[in-house]
Amino acid sequence: MELHLTASYADESNADLLAAVVDTTEQVPDELRQLDEHLGGAIARELARGVLTTKSAGVVTVTGAATGPGLLALVTTGPTDDGVADAWRVAGAKAASAARAAKARTVALSVPSDPEQVDAFVTGFVLGQYRIHKYRTPTSEHSGDDTSDRYRGPEALTLHGDVDAIGDVARRALTIAMAQNWARDLANAPANRLMPIDLAAEAEALAAKHVHLTYHDLDRVGIESAGMGMFAGVAQGSADEPRLIVLEWNPPESSEADEERLALVGKAVMFDTGGISIKPSGGMEDMKLDKSGGCAVLGAMRAIAETNVPRRILAVVGSTTNMPDGNAYRPGDVLTAMDGTTVEIISTDAEGRLVLGDCITYARGRGCNAIVEASTLTGAMVIALGHRYTGAIGKKGPLRDAVIAAGEATGDHAWAMPMHDEYKANLKTACADLKNSGGRDGGALSAGSFLGHFAKDTPFVHLDVAGTAMLPKPRMWFGSKGASGAAVRLMVELAASR
């Protein structure tokens, strides 16, 4: 999507649709008065009807004049329970909905001069216009579906406002939101269309576009040779070649040898059958989304490179498929981790933590002194927090505080949860150092404590995005079910602010 910035008045727009934010006081905003006169008072008449509320759909379209925008969409902000920025993200998504209903190829937004509101509005618009339609043919018919024809969203977005005040903010918001939508595309991809080698190719292609972003990977032999026994154990049941995907961002601004180096670690299980501990068949098709955490890490690295974050970042993504073939690992097996820890397998459906444990050890061995990891790890987290908040499991301290703050700043909300030795005690077993499942009680927290074991003394936060990354229906500013790209904006903000 192309972005254009202009200081011209909204009535000078020639876009297919112009979206503007109004409140519920039935007063025409100052920035729309000239446009209202141009439209013969149409905006004032619509507002006088009193049909716009924060909780309603909050979209009214007004037919344009002979010149100017073809259609005008008046949108309200959403409820401000979680702050003004979230309300403006909702407004952006409403504008995206209006653009889609009108099948607008070009869209203009009349934006305020407040940078936070502009960031939120643009973010909500870009995320709100996303749909899962990549694998539909252009002529496919879906009754009542807004992607039933060749329309695939707007091609150009123009912002009318104070260019000097909001230009950089708008460009950054668009860049990060587009990277998040790319992560959503990766996560939504079916397992037969995107295998570990394909995800690795996406990461390699990303690195090729940025001079300070480098790519490296390990194949099955490399993973085994590195001593990643847990990762290799999960991968041994799949004919698909696994990959350890490594991206390093080293901008010239970050030349100090003693600078903190942040690692972003992600789980990319391309499809999770549960292995020998096989999952129920109902809903198993959604297990293509078990790669969401790793895809979010790649999306964050794209945004970090494109916004030129002046800090060294290491990304490590473990990618494989959890399958139950004749060579698959079994309950009762004992695997040896990269750090030498022995792990008894209780459930082969608790595979993500095995892959991630070795990835965390790898990141720690690369000299990173702070690690943030994202994964769709436990159904227990969905029960605990639903689809609104990501669980941020870690010990009290500056890193967990920074993660929570980054979530609040971006609307990519996370809720602090404990990492305590009592939960790790649930992982004790007679025949190995640890077992890979601690049972139902505190299941999400014992899983986080399992990962914390491999971080050792390195500050570490585990982001369980099982509820936030996999949406059963559209919500908030996400216009589509499926992958949301949860944790992309949080990780970018964390990288930029630490």
Which tokens hold the place of 378? 């436990």
Rounded to 10 degrees, the C-alpha dihedral 340/341/342/347 comes to -130
| Contact predicate 357/337, CB 8 Å | yes
Q: What is the mean pLDDT of residues 113-118?
A: 92
Question: Of 354, 374, 381, 363, whose CA–CA distance to 266 is shortest?
Answer: 374
CA dist 135 and 190 (Å) reads 10
Can you read off the two tokens belonging to residue 187?
């996560």
Q: Are strands 460-464 and 370-375 parallel, antiparallel or unpaired?
A: parallel
Same domain, 157 and 194: no
Cα 81 to the center of its chain, rounded Å: 22
Mean per-residue pLDDT, 17-27: 80
β-pairing, 334-336 with 342-344? antiparallel
Q: Assess whether 307 and 193 both reside in one domain.
A: yes
CA dist., res. 469 & res. 389, Å (int): 10
Q: What is the DSSP letter of 159?
A: E
Given the residues 279, 395, 475, 481, select the one marked as catalytic: 279
Same domain, 273 and 194: yes
- Concatenated DSSP letters for 6-43? E-S-GGG--SSEEEEE--SSS---GGGHHHHHHTTTHH
What is d(CA 211, CA 58) in angstroms, rounded to the nearest whole number?
44
Residues 6+ apart with CB under 8 A from 431: 334, 344
Query: Would residue 49 show up in a list of annotated catalytic residues for this protein?
Result: no
Question: Which of 161, 179, 209 is where one domain is finished?
Answer: 161
Cβ burial of 255 (10 Å; 0-12, 13-18, 19+) is: exposed
CA distance 162 to 164: 6
Which CATH number fits the domain that encloses residue 305?
A: 3.40.630.10
Give me the sign of the Cα torsion angle 421, 426, 429, 435: negative
Active-site residue, selected from the candidate residues 89, 243, 353, 489: 353
Per the domain annotation, does 182 fall within a domain? no
For residues 365-390, give the mean pLDDT: 97
Q: Is residue 167, in this structure, part of any structural domain at all?
A: no
> Is there a domain that residue 179 lies in?
no
pLDDT at 25 over 90: no
Q: Can you name the residues that pair with 160 across neighbouring β-strands?
A: 6, 110
Which pLDDT band, with edges at 50, 70 and 90, does 8 fall under? confident
Q: Which two tokens mark 215?
A: 């790519």
Query: If pLDDT is split at 50, 70 and 90, which confidence band does 68 have?
Result: low
Q: What Å distances lie between residue 243 and 33, 69, 268, 363, CA to CA?
A: 57, 49, 10, 15
The pLDDT confidence band at residue 145, using thresholds 50, 70 and 90, is low
Same domain as 268, residue 199: yes
Evaluate whether residue 45 is within a structural domain.
yes
In a shared domain, residues 134 and 264: no
Structural domain harbouring 346: 189-497
Amino acid 27: pLDDT: 81
The model's confidence at residue 286, banded by pLDDT at 50, 70 and 90, is: very high
- Last residue of a domain, which of 123, 141, 161? 161
Q: Is residue 151 domain-shared with residue 283, that is, in the same domain?
A: no
pLDDT band at 65, cuts 50/70/90?
low
Lowest mean pLDDT among 59-68, 95-104, 114-123, 366-375: 59-68
pLDDT of residue 143 exceeding 50, the answer is no
Length of the chain: 498
388 closest CA partner among 287, 476, 450: 476
Is residue 134 flagged as an active site residue?
A: no
Nearest Cα residue to 124 out of 58, 28, 190, 194: 58
Name residues whose C-beta falls within 8 Å of residue 215's C-beta, 6 or more positions apart in sequence: 203, 204, 206, 207, 208, 245, 246, 247
pLDDT > 70? residue 336 = yes
Residue 392's nearest CA partner among 454, 468, 328, 337 is 468
Whether 272 is covered by a domain: the verdict is yes
What is the pTM (predicted TM-score) of this model? 0.94
Average pLDDT (461-482) is: 93
CA distances from 328 to 221, 231, 238, 323 (A): 17, 12, 7, 7
| Confidence category of residue 3, pLDDT binned at 50, 70, 90 | confident
Pick the closest to residue 302 from 489, 72, 55, 167 (CA basis).
489
Per-residue pLDDT, 60? 64
Mean pLDDT for the chain overall? 91
Residues 259 and 336 both lie in one domain = yes
Residues 241 and 383 in one domain: yes
pLDDT at 480 over 90: no
Give the CATH number, domain containing residue 128: 3.40.220.10
Final residue in a domain of this structure, among 124, 144, 161: 161
User: Does pLDDT of 181 surpass 50?
Assistant: yes
Which pair of tokens denotes residue 366? 């690369």
In angstroms, the CA 269 to CA 470 distance is 14
Q: Radius of gyration of the chain from Cα atoms?
A: 24
Q: Are 230 and 106 contained in the same domain?
A: no
Q: Mean of the pLDDT values across residues 175-194?
A: 98
Confidence of residue 210 (pLDDT cuts 50, 70, 90): very high
> Does pLDDT of 169 surpass 70?
yes
- Residue 410, in any domain of the structure: yes
The string of pLDDT tens digits covering residues 289-303 is 999 999 999 999 999
- 157 lies in the same domain as 198: no
Compute the average pLDDT of residues 146-161: 75
Total domains, the chain: 2
Task: Render pLDDT for 30-56 as a digit per residue (tens, 0 to 9).
Answer: 878 888 888 888 888 888 887 776 555
Q: Is residue 435 part of a domain?
A: yes
Instruction: Write down the pLDDT at residue 258.
Output: 47
Backbone angles phi, psi at 201, to 5 degrees: -65, -35
pLDDT at res. 463:
99
Residue 174 covered by a domain: no
Among 60-74, 88-102, 142-156, 453-467, the range with the most confident prediction by mean pLDDT is 453-467
Confidence band, pLDDT 50/70/90 cuts, at residue 330? very high
Residue carrying the six token digits 């005690």: 425
Q: Where are the beta strands (DSSP E) in 30-153?
A: 59-63, 71-75, 106-110
Do residues 127 and 224 share a domain?
Answer: no
**Domain shared by 137 and 255, yes or no:** no
